[in-house]
Structure 1
Amino acid sequence: MKDLLRANKGFILFLCLFGVFRTAVADWNPIPSASMRPNLLEGDVVFVNRLAFDLKIPLTDVIVARLGEPNRGDVVTFTSPQPDKTRLIKRVLALPGDVIEMRNEQLIINGVPGKYQVAEVTRERSHGAELEAVRMDETVGGTRQRIQVLPQKLALRNFGPVRIPADHYLMLGDNRDDSGDSRVIGLVPRDKLIGRAERILVSADYQGNWMPRPGRFGKSLRADAAEN
């Protein structure tokens, strides 16, 4: 055993450093579902900055220091507060202290209704069915992002108003009618945050012909600031 370790010490050191890097500094996250369409597609792999919010002891979830706070519009990865502890990726829409509600798909944050402008109408498949998909530019709470709604699909389109407590966040998928987000799993405590998804590293059509989608390589995931 000692000879084996000695012969492979360089590789073992590499694995240890690689594990430290992925759990404490930066990571990547493949997109397995349609919940963030149209901005993230199945087959995208996103770069996650694990130092955006917290410094953690490598290979653990123990927080050593806070390095930053999520902003509205950030796309973040986090551990589900539900018992299954699934790793999820959604967009932050409400911050601690906010009062948020949804009425017929329209978000209202701190009493100010969001504005919506239709960008395109297309067709998409959802759980085996082909449905009309309406893509809109949503301007709400100081940010602007492209979202998608599926009018024919049964979905939770109304909730609240809800006041967000300290160190909690409300997360929504950009594909609003096909996302298991805070409307299902509840508010997300801050200590469940993993990092901020900054951009798409690579992308391939794994549901089709597995061809790369080079036009998506390096695409930023930052939300735009809304114009006053």
Structure 2
Amino acid sequence: MKASGTPAGGRKKSKEWFEALMIAALFAAVIRVFIVESYRIPTSSMESTLMAGDFLFVNKFVYGARVPFTDYRLPSFDEVEHGDIIVFKYPEDRSLNYIKRCVALPGDTLEIRNRELFVNGSRVPLPEHAGFLRQMAPPGYAESQIFPRFSGYNKDQYGPLRVPKQGDEVPLDAMHLPLYAAIISYEGHALSVSGDRVFLDGRPAETYRVEGNYYFVMGDNRDNSLDSRYWGFLPEGDLVGQALMVYWSWNPNLSFFAPMEKLSSIRWERIGLIVH
């Protein structure tokens, strides 16, 4: 019989430790991919609801987590609701995650009048910690960066605009192309224009039937948010999850080379904050 201190006994313990570590790493990976993931707030677009330097837990299974390296999503446990704070792939660069508040669902009609949000004709109160930084843009003043191009809208005077819903039949003409071109491309179709005629996948078309659901999102910091007012509708397939809780928060502008200042910037009052 070999003594417990022999090389064979040491190799057995090392193997057991290695197996335990691999199992723990596998469980951690499954949790991160399918259940809960950490997310850091990089900008001030959601202030003061969320602050730059907040670290969040994001619920990924609630809307159906995506299986890595595929287009398949697991079944969802809930649907996006008005007011949910959601994390999603930025449609213009899907390597980036963004976080905003969902203000309109598929099929809703949205309008902003003098900074006040209306959905389906009903006024939506400003979120508790939301606000504005700059002077209100007046009616009739067009912002060139606003979606859709040439609409004449601005960040404070916007719409009315219907958010596309699966099954909607939308017109294809020069007036409506800036509104729907991105979602048609996202859904895998080719658009082209010749004179006054629109071609869909090489064939003349006057209408298009929307294949998926879309959302309209805005930042709570309404004057400093790159949101749907600027880049358009959020595809359901780009949803990542719902923000849950702030588990850490400090000043992101302070360097780690000044550790005492960095530690003194910890926002203890925000740790454990439920996001809503």
- Which of 36, 43, 65 is matched with 2:75 structurally? 65
TM-score, structure 1 normalization: 0.76
1:207 maps to amino acid: N
Residues 194-220 of structure 1: CA deviation (Å, up to 9, x unaligned): 110012111112224322111001111
2:102–2:218 CA contact under 8 A, matched in 1: yes
Q: CA deviation at 1:25?
A: 0.6
Identity %: 31
TM-score, structure 2 normalization: 0.63
* Counterpart-to-counterpart distance in 1, 2:134 and 2:77: 40
Q: CA deviation at 1:84?
A: 4.5
Which structure's residues are more often helix, by fraction? 2
1:164–1:170 CA contact under 8 A, matched in 2: yes
Residues 162-187 of structure 1: CA deviation (Å, up to 9, x unaligned): 11122211010000110111112211
SS in 1 for 2:129: strand
2:155 maps to amino acid: L
Shift of the 148–35 alpha-carbon distance from structure 1 to 2, 3 Å rule, reads: same
* Counterpart-to-counterpart distance in 2, 1:188 and 1:196: 14
Which structure's residues are more often strand, by fraction? 1
Q: Does residue 1:148 correspond to 2:131, yes or no?
A: yes
Runs of at least 5 residues in structure 1 that lack an aligned partner in the other structure: 116-137, 139-143, 223-228
Decide which structure has the larger Cα Rg and report it: 2
1:8 aligns with 18
Q: Does residue 1:213 correspond to 2:267, yes or no?
A: yes
Shift of the 218–79 alpha-carbon distance from structure 1 to 2, 3 Å rule, reads: same
1:187 aligns with 233
2:106 maps to amino acid: P
Q: CA deviation at 1:158?
A: 2.3
Shift of the 13–60 alpha-carbon distance from structure 1 to 2, 3 Å rule, reads: farther
1:150–1:177 CA contact under 8 A, matched in 2: yes
1:35 aligns with 45
- Greater alpha carbon shift after TM alignment, 147-156 vs 29-38: 147-156
Shift of the 13–213 alpha-carbon distance from structure 1 to 2, 3 Å rule, reads: same
1:19–1:59 CA contact under 8 A, matched in 2: no
Q: Does residue 1:159 correspond to 2:158, yes or no?
A: yes
Q: CA deviation at 1:145?
A: 3.4
Q: CA deviation at 1:52?
A: 1.3
Q: Does residue 1:112 correspond to 2:122, yes or no?
A: yes
1:159 maps to amino acid: Y
1:47–1:198 CA contact under 8 A, matched in 2: yes
1:169 aligns with 215
- Greater alpha carbon shift after TM alignment, 32-41 vs 208-217: 208-217
Structure 1 moving runs of 4+ over 6 Å: none
Runs of at least 5 residues in structure 2 that lack an aligned partner in the other structure: 1-10, 138-153, 166-212, 255-260
2:239 maps to amino acid: L
* Counterpart-to-counterpart distance in 1, 2:135 and 2:18: 58
* Counterpart-to-counterpart distance in 1, 2:131 and 2:229: 16
1:25 aligns with 35
Question: How many residues are aligned here?
Answer: 192
Residues 28-70 of structure 1: CA deviation (Å, up to 9, x unaligned): 1100100000111111001111111114436755213122101
Give RMSD over aligned pairs.
2.4
